[in-house]
Amino acid sequence: MKPIFMLLCLLTFFQTNAQNMDANEIINASIKKHGGDQYQNAHFAYDFRKYHYEYHYVDGKFKYERHTKDGKTKDILTNEGFKRTVDNKEVELTEKKISGYSNSVNSVHYFAFLPSFLNDDAVNKKLVGEVTVLGKDYYKIEVTFDQEGGGDDHDDVYMYWIGKEDYSLDYLAYSFHVNGGGVRFRSAYNKRTIGGIIFQDYINYKHDKETPVSDLDGLFEKKELIELSKIELVNIEKI
């Protein structure tokens, strides 16, 4: 075989394999970029808006907490379930309130520690394309959830934009159906590494609720999204 032909074959092989990264490989690379093994044994505290949060995760066992700033009311979500205490006494709750409080606590921790949760058993990942946003190239990955193990919001659709060169999670978007439904797009900023994990804040945008999640990156570039809020974690510390 002639050397030039062998070189062309090798180049074709490497280019093809580079282009054929699947969603799992991309997500794994992003998890490694953002914290990797540090996620498997993590204990952190931080403040978000009017609450203090604690996140404790060890090899699949988790304890997610939310406290009022005065420490009187504590919400605790674990593998075994949810409970609320007031002045260290457990409060009896309806199933509806348990579901609502559980989802609220879980949601804050979920976004704070992305992309670590994107390998959960109920997660379905699909590489839907490659795009450029503000001059940077991204893998665009759609995430849906199985009904079993996917939580109350299993029918929501998420989209993640992960850098092709650095595997950084820079944007995410999702649709939701509670409270009349809608769509959100988040742009990450203020990235910092604490205890081996990258934390980032987000500018939170909205658009018409009928807008497909996959269209939100284009609308973001055109500055057609409406800024709704900022998602800012403060006083982050590793415990």
Helix and strand tally (H, E) in the chain? 4, 14
pLDDT score for 179: 77
Measure the CA–CA gap between 159 and 221, rounded to whole angstroms. Answer: 16
- Give per-residue pLDDT as tens, 204-229: 999 999 999 999 999 999 999 999 99
Above 90 in pLDDT, residue 152? Answer: no
- Give the per-residue SS3 of 50-71: CEEEEEEEECCEEEEEEEECCC
Beta strands in the chain (DSSP E): 41-48, 51-58, 61-68, 73-78, 81-86, 89-91, 123-133, 136-145, 158-163, 169-176, 182-194, 197-207, 226-231, 234-238
pLDDT score for 180: 83
Confidence bin at 141 (pLDDT 50/70/90): very high
Strand order in the sheet with 73-78: 89-91, 81-86, 73-78, 61-68, 51-58, 41-48, 234-238
Side chain identity at 16, as an amino acid letter?
T
CATH classification number, 23-238, choose in 1.10.1740, 2.50.20, 1.20.1740, 1.20.120: 2.50.20
Q: Where are the domains of the chain?
A: 23-238
Cα 234-236-239 angle, rounded to 5 deg:
155
Side chain identity at 208, as an amino acid letter?
D
In this prediction the pTM is: 0.86
Confidence bin at 60 (pLDDT 50/70/90): confident
- Give per-residue pLDDT as tens, 172-198: 999 988 878 899 999 999 999 999 999
Beta strands in 69-106 (DSSP E): 73-78, 81-86, 89-91
What sign does the dihedral 199-229-73-96 (CA atoms) show?
negative
Parallel/antiparallel/unpaired status of strands 123-133 and 182-194:
unpaired
What 3-state class would DSSP assign to 165?
coil
Q: Which residue has the tokens 């991309």?
A: 26
